[in-house]
Structure 1
Amino acid sequence: MKYTVLLVLFFLQFTGYSQSLDENSSSEKANDKLLLTIFLKHDQTMNLNEIEEIRTQQGFYENLPPEGVAVVNWFVVMGLGQVVILELPASKLSAVNLAIERTAWKAFTTEIFPTYNLYPIIEHKLKNKSKVELNEKLSTKKANDKLLVTVFLKHNQTMTLNEIETIRTNQGFYENLPPEEVSVVNWFVVMGLGQMVVLELPASKLPAVNLAIEKTAWKAFTTEIYPTYNLYPIIEHKLKNKSKVNY
């Protein structure tokens, strides 16, 4: 009887330990995703119809994103091209690269950067914490009331990150960007490039955004600003893999 009780206790302890390991593994698995930012840059020796014909023939929409990979954003950044942010397990990295090389090349020139979500790290510093998830089901009137801009805050590698942080803190960066009535859509670090911020705003707030950048981001960063629109709702029906996640 004594040995039976000990055996039961050992079994329960072992089961609990195994369950703990499973939970840790599940937690690690949930975190085992990376983000990639892909620039699909337009070749202006071709018009849009010619580009579309090439990527359709090459099976672009059937192969990007591959299975097991989800779209975070798919924007047209006007004057630059398309910017696609994907979420994927590390094991799918080669599949994404092959899909781009096989189906996007010739239609676009491409650049790929590892990326991470900066917003949760800096949210507590921001005076205006307003953040939105783009909702494709908004009424046409409401959707037309807002525009998107993509702001690139490019790192100046003559300074360390601490020096950059000191400058933008002293200049009131976090208190002024985004201005009131302007919301963050995404705020990512695109590694090797800098920070990429997508903002949603009424057109009347465009001067306020520009002034906030000029007054508080310059000197810490070199900046580029592009008008942007959400391409995903327009092309979703073409994609074989429609998986999408929000950040």
Structure 2
Amino acid sequence: MKYVLLLPLFLLQMIVHAQSTNTLNSSEKVDDKLLLTIFLKHDQSMTLNEIEKIRTDQGFYENLPPEGVSVVNWFVVMGLGQVAVLELPASKLSAVNLAIERTAWKAFTTEMYATYNLYPIIEHKLKNKSKVTLDAKPSSEKADDKLLLTVVLKHDQSMTLNEIEAIRTNQGFYKNLPPEGTSVVNWFVVMGLGQVVVLELPASKLSAVNLAIERTAWKAFTTEIYPTYNLYPIIENKLKNKSKVDY
């Protein structure tokens, strides 16, 4: 008889536990956002005015990024096009893809890559840990007129990650990149491509960055370097969704 009375209490505890577990899992999913890097490559068969007209007519600024999605950064990478990094919950992935297909195609050719922030993982390895967050002013309005540089470190898949790591460690990669007087803006793994680093530096440090890459990154990676500027302050007034987050 005692066990019969205890059975309903046991079942009630199991139900409450299951509900609390479901609630916990849901809350974890809500907070679990991902990064997405989007390359908007210029079509040089059109002028910038023609490109701008196409994306304006297609509702680019009204639909990208969709509501619930935030801009991490939005750069012009000179010689390549525009590179935007967005933060979004996984449930918004299809909305971002549709916004790109409906409003960016024809104006740009596009590539999208799942991304994660590498800087917190490698910060302890870097001799120069200087990192900056870009302010909202266009570069032309800054008193100390530093430039941005996007460095693409493409993985060589003929080597394992351990082999790549051994090469760049032995070559002094972490001790020399970024050079003193240069700051990291962001350092991401762009999955399927490699690592993408944006540096802020005075023009006088340009040769030092180039030498550091040639001496310590070559052999571990194939590299591309692009002059860059922050487009977000210029287009922010055009975007319907102005949500932005810092990394």
TM-score for the superposition, normalised by structure 1: 0.89
Secondary structure of 1:84's aligned partner: strand
Contact 2:126–2:175 (CA under 8 A) maintained in structure 1: yes
Contact 2:139–2:229 (CA under 8 A) maintained in structure 1: no
Tell me the equivalent position of 1:35.
35
Tell me the equivalent position of 2:83.
83
Residue 192 (structure 2) pairs with residue 221 (structure 1): no
Tell me the equivalent position of 2:171.
171
C-alpha displacement at 1:147, in angstroms? 0.3
C-alpha displacement at 1:222, in angstroms? 0.3
Matches within 5 A, 1:117-136: 117-136=117-136
C-alpha displacement at 1:30, in angstroms? 1.9
Residues 217 and 143 from structure 1, CA distance in 2 versus in 1: closer, same or farther, beyond 3 angstroms?
Answer: farther
Q: After superposition, give the CA deviation of every residue in 1:72-121 in whole Å (9 maximum; x if it has no partner).
A: 01000000000010000111111000000000000000011111110011
Matches within 5 A, 1:89-238: 89-137=89-137, 142-143=142-143, 145-238=145-238
Tell me how far apart the structure 2 counterparts of residues 139 and 109 of structure 1 sit (CA, whole Å): 27
Where structure 2 has 5 or more consecutive residues not aligned to the other structure, the ranges are 1-11
- Count the aligned residue pairs: 240
Which piece of structure 1 moves more, 139-148 or 229-238? Answer: 139-148
Tell me the equivalent position of 2:3.
none
Secondary structure of 2:114's aligned partner: strand
Which piece of structure 1 moves more, 205-214 or 130-139? Answer: 130-139
Query: Structure 2: which amino acid aligns with 1:29?
Result: V
Where structure 1 has 5 or more consecutive residues not aligned to the other structure, the ranges are 1-10
Q: After superposition, give the CA deviation of every residue in 1:124-179 in whole Å (9 maximum; x if it has no partner).
A: 10000100000114895535520000000000010000000000000000000000
Tell me how far apart the structure 1 counterparts of residues 89 and 112 of structure 2 sit (CA, whole Å): 16
Tell me how far apart the structure 2 counterparts of residues 57 and 139 of structure 1 sit (CA, whole Å): 28
Tell me how far apart the structure 2 counterparts of residues 203 and 139 of structure 1 sit (CA, whole Å): 13
Query: Structure 2: which amino acid aligns with 1:158?
Result: S
Q: Please provide the CA RMSD for this pair.
A: 2.4
Q: After superposition, give the CA deviation of every residue in 1:175-213 in whole Å (9 maximum; x if it has no partner).
A: 000000100001000000000000000110000000000
Residues 21 and 244 from structure 1, CA distance in 2 versus in 1: closer, same or farther, beyond 3 angstroms?
Answer: same
Residues 140 and 57 from structure 1, CA distance in 2 versus in 1: closer, same or farther, beyond 3 angstroms?
Answer: closer
Query: Structure 2: which amino acid aligns with 1:186?
Result: N
Which piece of structure 1 moves more, 211-220 or 141-150? Answer: 141-150
Secondary structure of 1:158's aligned partner: coil
Query: Structure 1: which amino acid aligns with 2:225?
Result: I
C-alpha displacement at 1:28, in angstroms? 4.7
Residues 230 and 139 from structure 1, CA distance in 2 versus in 1: closer, same or farther, beyond 3 angstroms?
Answer: closer
Query: Structure 2: which amino acid aligns with 1:195?
Result: Q
Residues 49 and 141 from structure 1, CA distance in 2 versus in 1: closer, same or farther, beyond 3 angstroms?
Answer: closer
Tell me how far apart the structure 1 counterparts of residues 18 and 126 of structure 2 sit (CA, whole Å): 42
Tell me how far apart the structure 1 counterparts of residues 119 and 185 of structure 2 sit (CA, whole Å): 10
Secondary structure of 1:215's aligned partner: helix
Query: Structure 2: which amino acid aligns with 1:46?
Result: M
TM-score for the superposition, normalised by structure 2: 0.89
Query: Structure 2: which amino acid aligns with 1:232?
Result: Y
Residues 80 and 161 from structure 1, CA distance in 2 versus in 1: closer, same or farther, beyond 3 angstroms?
Answer: same
C-alpha displacement at 1:36, in angstroms? 0.6
Tell me the equivalent position of 2:47.
47
Residues 28 and 92 from structure 1, CA distance in 2 versus in 1: closer, same or farther, beyond 3 angstroms?
Answer: closer
